């Protein structure tokens, strides 16, 4: 009686295990990149909603405390208020989908306080004026591969690593 078939199966299982060991980090990083891109897209949509609001209301931004509910008339999907990388918003934790979590008041982004009711800046200053940024339980949160997405008043968004932008820069309102 030969034991060769069992040995072959054992080798195949070991090779599959080693392959998974090396391939898993690649897929994990790709998933994190996808979450960063989705967050960037959400921030872009929110930024456009802010600019539409400002166009309708004499070039002024909304109140920073009520910006999320105020912008609801400019977007149809509440899930754009939630970052896919925000662990506080996971479906497993709350048992609700993203739209329901946003309606319950969970938001992954914040509007800079100094921009509340502010008129849109004149040409040349808007590309440096920070308006939206990512927040977590303890304030600023670098949840995307050690970085965060930030929205500017001219409508563009940018990804910054933790060392490239500090809380002081964000709170001052310029990069």
Neighbours of 40 (CB within 10 A): 18
Question: CA–CA distance from 40 to each of 20, 44, 74, 150 (Å)?
Answer: 30, 6, 18, 8
pLDDT above 60 (res 39): yes
Whole-prediction pTM: 0.75
Mean pLDDT computed over every residue of the chain: 77
Mean per-residue pLDDT, 49-55:
90
Q: Mean pLDDT lowest for which of 2-6, 63-67, 116-120, 142-146?
A: 2-6
Burial label, 28 (beta-carbon count in 10 A; 0-12, 13-18, 19+)? exposed
The better pLDDT of the pair 50, 118 is held by 50
72 by DSSP, 3-state: which?
helix
pLDDT above 80 (res 123): no
133 - beta bridge partners?
A: 110, 150
pLDDT of residue 72: 85
Helices (H), 57-119: 67-70, 91-94, 98-103
């Amino acid at each position: 009686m030969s034991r060769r078939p069992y040995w072959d199966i054992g080798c195949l299982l070991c090779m599959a295990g080693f392959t998974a060991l090396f391939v898993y980090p690649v897929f994990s990083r790709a998933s994190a990149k996808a979450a960063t891109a989705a967050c960037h897209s959400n921030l872009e949509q929110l930024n456009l909603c802010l600019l539409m609001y400002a166009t309708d209301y004499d070039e002024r931004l909304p109140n920073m405390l009520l910006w999320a509910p105020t912008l609801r008339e400019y977007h149809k999907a509440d899930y754009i208020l939630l970052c896919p990388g925000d662990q506080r918003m996971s479906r497993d934790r709350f048992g609700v989908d993203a739209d329901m979590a946003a309606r319950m008041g969970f938001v992954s982004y914040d509007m800079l306080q100094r921009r509340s009711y502010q008129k849109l800046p004149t040409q040349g200053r808007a590309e440096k004026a920070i308006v939206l940024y990512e927040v977590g339980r303890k304030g600023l949160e670098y949840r995307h591969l050690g970085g965060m997405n930030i929205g500017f008043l001219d409508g563009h968004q940018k990804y910054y690593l933790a060392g490239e932008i500090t809380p002081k820069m964000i709170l001052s309102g310029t990069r």
